[in-house]
């Protein structure tokens, strides 16, 4: 039960995706394969990829015997690295079933192993496989993350009265302290939040992933004392104070302070203050009556490609810093507190330049006035 990024990697560019297993190993457990793939698909470089893995099993058969783990690969195959030959090497996928499908609907199967040179591989494929390793099956039931519901969840780190492990979807944890113990004990790096949540006190959530139900169902409030460096957030409405080096995607950001990192495909509302360089990619204004104001913190850079809606940039005083805004039908206002730096605005929209001392380049911006002043040429054919 381990995340094995030292020996397992994914080539996301292929179809089916190839899960490479290093030449240094000849056997990988189905559980380690599942844990590692869940970790890899949660990373930022795979955020746009379709799911690659799921797992099932753990049903009791009596007398302490349980159905073994079955790992399902979606548009993916595993491949043991090719050997130099001329001798063939037997490589094994052990400890459960591994099956593969064209996609997550599981309607069309494909052979789960990609052939490689001088490798002969065995795999478990019996649908009736059993195991007495209850801890392994419990681990699988978490689906790679700890479920947390602060209203209807359970205290403790064991099981609820029905025997479901606390921290699973069937028995979510109801507090951060227990949820962290469960995550650290089992090697998970993701929390699945049901409803709203507040990250407060001396909590250490550095480098974890928090997934909400949706922007309408999960409000995530981050308080100053919590440690949230490297925190990744998705599918939630986010507000408060965040430490830095963060990734926020598919969310709504409201009045967030000390932002440093990437905000991708998010709606923006209110005041957003930077503590370092940032990238706001494919973001948009949620409320035209409360458009976002980006506070540059004096000396930080910002890239905002493909921004839709209204945005105000303020407080840039370092001549070595840059702001790049690519408007996709919007209005960018440069506040008078911008006294230095370089501002480049392109795309389609309007710039309202109230800056005092910055270098502002809007020559590539297509605005109403630019269209009116255009000279149209055509050639009759």
| Interval 30-67: pLDDT, tens | 889 999 999 999 898 888 899 999 988 755 555 455 56
Structure token digits, residue 224: 């100053």
Show which of 138, 162, 177 is a domain's final residue: 138
Tell whether 272 and 157 lie within a shared domain: yes
Residue 198 lies in a domain: yes
Structure token digits, residue 354: 């109230």
Three-class secondary structure of residue 290 per DSSP: coil
Tell whether 187 and 284 lie within a shared domain: yes
- Count how many domains the chain has: 2
Return the closest-CA partner of residue 312 out of 351, 364, 281, 266: 351
Given this model, what pLDDT does residue 59 score?
A: 58
Q: What is the mean pLDDT of the chain?
A: 89
Tell whether 175 and 311 lie within a shared domain: yes
Given this model, what pLDDT does residue 377 score?
A: 55
- Residues β-bridged to residue 165: 159
Domain that holds residue 89: 8-138
| Interval 342-379: pLDDT, tens | 999 999 999 999 999 999 999 999 986 554 554 555 55
Residue 159 lies in a domain: yes
**Cα separation, 134 vs 268, whole angstroms:** 45
How many secondary structure helices (H) and strands (E) does the chain include?
4, 31
Return the closest-CA partner of residue 217 out of 151, 269, 168, 156: 151
How does DSSP assign 239-284, residue by residue? EEE--SSEEEESSEEEEEESEEEEEES-EEESEEEEEEEEEEES-E
| Interval 285-321: pLDDT, tens | 999 888 999 999 999 999 999 999 999 999 999 999 9
Stretch 96-108: mean pLDDT, rounded? 89
Residue 274 lies in a domain: yes
Tell whether 166 and 289 lie within a shared domain: yes
What kind and span of H or E run contains 305? strand 302-316
Tell whether 77 and 171 lie within a shared domain: no
Residue 82 lies in a domain: yes
Residue 379 lies in a domain: no
Identify which has the larger pLDDT, 311 or 1: 311
Residue 33 lies in a domain: yes
**Cα separation, 165 vs 54, whole angstroms:** 19
Tell whether 186 and 103 lie within a shared domain: no
**Cα separation, 191 vs 157, whole angstroms:** 15
Tell whether 133 and 147 lie within a shared domain: no
């Amino acid at each position: 039960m381990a995340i094995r990024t030292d020996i397992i990697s994914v080539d996301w560019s292929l179809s089916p995706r190839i899960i490479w297993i290093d030449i240094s190993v000849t056997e990988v457990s189905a559980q380690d394969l599942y844990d590692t793939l869940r970790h890899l698909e949660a990373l930022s470089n795979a955020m746009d990829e379709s799911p690659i893995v799921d797992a099932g099993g753990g049903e009791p058969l009596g007398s302490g015997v349980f159905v073994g783990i079955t790992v399902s690969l979606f548009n993916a195959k595993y491949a043991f690295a090719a050997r130099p030959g001329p001798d063939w090497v037997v490589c094994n996928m052990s400890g459960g079933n591994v099956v593969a499908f064209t996609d997550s609907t599981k309607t069309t199967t494909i052979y789960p192993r990609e052939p490689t040179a001088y490798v002969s591989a065995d795999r478990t494929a019996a649908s009736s496989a059993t195991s007495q390793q209850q801890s392994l099956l419990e681990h699988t039931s978490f689906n790679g993350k700890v479920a947390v519901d602060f209203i209807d969840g359970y205290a403790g780190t064991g099981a609820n009265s029905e025997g479901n492990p606390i921290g699973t979807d069937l028995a979510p944890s109801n507090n951060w302290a227990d949820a962290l113990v469960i995550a650290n004990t089992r090697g998970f790096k993701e929390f699945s939040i049901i409803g709203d949540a507040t990250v407060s006190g001396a909590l250490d959530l550095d480098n974890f992933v928090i997934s909400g139900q949706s922007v309408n169902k999960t409000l995530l409030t981050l308080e100053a004392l919590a440690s949230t460096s490297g925190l990744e957030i998705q599918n939630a409405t986010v507000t408060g104070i965040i430490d830095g080096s963060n990734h926020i995607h598919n969310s709504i950001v409201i009045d967030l302070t000390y932002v440093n990192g990437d905000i991708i495909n998010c709606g923006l509302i209110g005041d957003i203050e930077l503590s370092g360089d940032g990238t706001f990619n494919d973001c948009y204004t949620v409320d035209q009556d409360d458009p976002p104001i980006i506070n540059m913190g004096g000396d930080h850079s910002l890239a905002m490609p493909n921004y839709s809606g209204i945005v105000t940039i303020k407080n840039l005083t370092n001549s070595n810093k840059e702001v790049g805004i690519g408007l996709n039908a919007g209005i960018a206002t440069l506040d008078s507190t911008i006294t230095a730096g370089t501002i480049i605005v392109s795309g389609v929209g309007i710039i309202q330049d109230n800056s005092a001392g910055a270098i502002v380049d809007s020559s590539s911006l297509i605005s109403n006035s630019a269209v009116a002043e255009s000279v149209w040429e055509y050639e009759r054919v």
